[in-house]
């Protein structure tokens, strides 16, 4: 399905992945509507394109959400609205489940009632838990290790069931860790960059945890490719690069790019999670088979671009002004 000139709504469109998706959709000549409560997302992420889009402040838990779809004649929906930062779920598990599961149900039913032509439900590799084998395909067992992951898996199952039960044309996109300009949460890449901007000394948690890091421009290209692909309806599809890196390896690469010949890393017990996913490595064969997508930006290039963005924007991330003091110890993903 072509999306040129179609009305496309992006929930969470002021967030990290969401705002990058909005910009890519505009390149595809879509008519974009952003729906966001601006809790973690920020209008500054959309500043360069705000005159070319419609921005609506709202929450996917609102009963009137479906009216937004009808009033704006929305044809396609990307649901990225979520409580996304895993360490925060230890403080507010109920809120995570309400937004990520009940909120997704609200979006799904609104899409049904408004007869939306296509929907992408954003999920996460965290639903798999630690890798039982690599690379991890869509048949990998699911074993969520956090309230966040459990809530996203619930949304996955709702999407799959409602596709079969209600005929909602939804695709489940399981995103492996994305990184890049515009980060709105203290994930591992921006956290390392922030610390190394001050000195060559790092305080981190689980150094051996391995993640498949996908540059955000590649990630949003994959999402749009899936939206266009009718054969992806009713399916769960992984998005990732097929290569994983440990936290320690990632820190050393960032250190080199920031001019350090050597970095010192100290493990802080307070930064370790109660249950941690040790390894995530994506098989994106299904995505490639459906759409022909391949990642284009390698890790070093993506990290270089992310560092350049950080420097250009005054060496401060959006999340640094919003993070709650009692949650500052949880600063890795």
Same domain, 252 and 172: no
The per-residue pLDDT for 323 is 56
Beta strand pairing status for 178-179 and 76-79?
A: unpaired
Q: Is residue 1 part of a domain?
A: no
How many domains, the chain? 2
Same domain, 91 and 123: yes
How many whole angstroms separate alpha carbon 35 and alpha carbon 13?
A: 6
Same domain, 112 and 94: yes
Is the overall model pTM greater than 0.75, yes or no? yes
Q: Is residue 2 part of a domain?
A: no
Same domain, 132 and 33: yes
Running DSSP on this structure, what letter comes out for residue 143? -
Same domain, 98 and 161: yes
* Number of Cα atoms under 13 Å in the Cβ half of residue 279: 13
> What value, to the nearest 5°, has the Cα angle with vertex 277 and ends 276 and 282?
165
Q: Is residue 148 part of a domain?
A: yes
3-state secondary structure of 92: coil
Q: Is residue 290 part of a domain?
A: no
CATH code of the domain containing 207: 3.90.25.10
Show the domain range for 35: 7-178+213-239
Same domain, 144 and 172: yes
Same domain, 165 and 103: yes
The per-residue pLDDT for 13 is 98
The per-residue pLDDT for 321 is 72
* Six-digit token string for 217: 């421009």
Same domain, 25 and 35: yes
Same domain, 23 and 168: yes
Task: Confirm if 26 and 34 have CB atoms less than 8 A apart.
Answer: no
Same domain, 168 and 108: yes
Same domain, 129 and 226: yes
The per-residue pLDDT for 322 is 66
Q: How many CB atoms lie within 10 A of CB 125?
A: 25
CATH code of the domain containing 105: 3.40.50.720
Backbone angles phi, psi at 249, to 5 degrees: -65, -45
3-state secondary structure of 127: helix
Q: Is residue 333 part of a domain?
A: no
Q: What is the pLDDT along the chain (333 residues), one digit of tens a residue?
A: 999 999 999 999 999 999 999 999 999 999 999 999 999 899 999 999 999 999 999 999 999 999 999 999 999 999 999 998 898 898 899 999 999 999 999 999 999 999 999 999 999 999 999 999 999 999 999 999 999 999 999 999 999 999 999 999 999 999 999 999 999 999 999 999 999 999 999 999 999 999 999 999 999 999 999 999 999 999 999 999 999 999 999 999 999 999 999 999 999 988 888 888 999 999 999 999 999 999 999 999 999 999 999 999 999 898 887 654 444 444 444
The per-residue pLDDT for 274 is 80
The per-residue pLDDT for 330 is 43
Same domain, 165 and 275: no
């Amino acid at each position: 399905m072509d999306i040129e000139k179609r009305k496309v709504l992006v929930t969470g469109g002021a967030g990290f992945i969401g705002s990058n998706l909005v910009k890519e959709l505009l390149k595809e000549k879509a008519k974009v509507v952003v729906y966001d409560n601006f809790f973690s997302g920020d209008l500054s992420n959309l500043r360069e394109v705000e005159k070319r889009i419609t921005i609506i402040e709202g929450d996917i838990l609102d009963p009137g959400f479906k009216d937004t779809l009808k009033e704006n004649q929305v044809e396609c929906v990307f649901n990225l609205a979520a409580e996304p930062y895993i360490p925060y779920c230890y403080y507010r598990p109920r809120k995570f489940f309400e937004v990520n599961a009940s909120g997704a149900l609200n979006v799904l039913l609104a899409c049904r009632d408004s007869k939306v032509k296509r929907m992408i439900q954003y999920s996460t590799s965290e639903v798999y838990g630690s890798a039982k084998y690599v690379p991890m395909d869509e048949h990998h067992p699911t074993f969520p290790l956090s309230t966040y992951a459990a809530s996203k898996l619930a949304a996955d199952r709702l999407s799959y069931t409602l596709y079969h039960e209600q005929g909602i044309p939804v695709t489940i996109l399981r995103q492996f860790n994305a990184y890049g300009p515009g980060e709105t949460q203290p994930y591992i890449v921006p956290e390392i960059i922030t610390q190394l901007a001050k000195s060559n000394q790092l305080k981190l948690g689980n150094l051996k945890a391995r993640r498949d890091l996908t540059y955000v421009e590649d990630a949003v290209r994959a999402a749009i490719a899936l939206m266009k692909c009718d054969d992806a309806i009713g399916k769960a599809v992984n998005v990732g690069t097929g290569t994983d890196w440990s936290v320690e390896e990632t820190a050393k690469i960032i250190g080199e790019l920031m001019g350090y010949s050597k970095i010192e890393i100290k493990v802080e017990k307070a930064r370790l999670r109660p249950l941690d996913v040790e390894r995530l490595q994506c098989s994106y064969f299904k995505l490639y088979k459906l759409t022909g997508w391949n990642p284009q930006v390698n890790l070093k290039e993506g990290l270089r671009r992310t560092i350049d963005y950080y420097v250009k924007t005054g060496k401060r991330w959006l999340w640094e002004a919003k993070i709650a003091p009692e949650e500052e110890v949880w600063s890795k993903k």
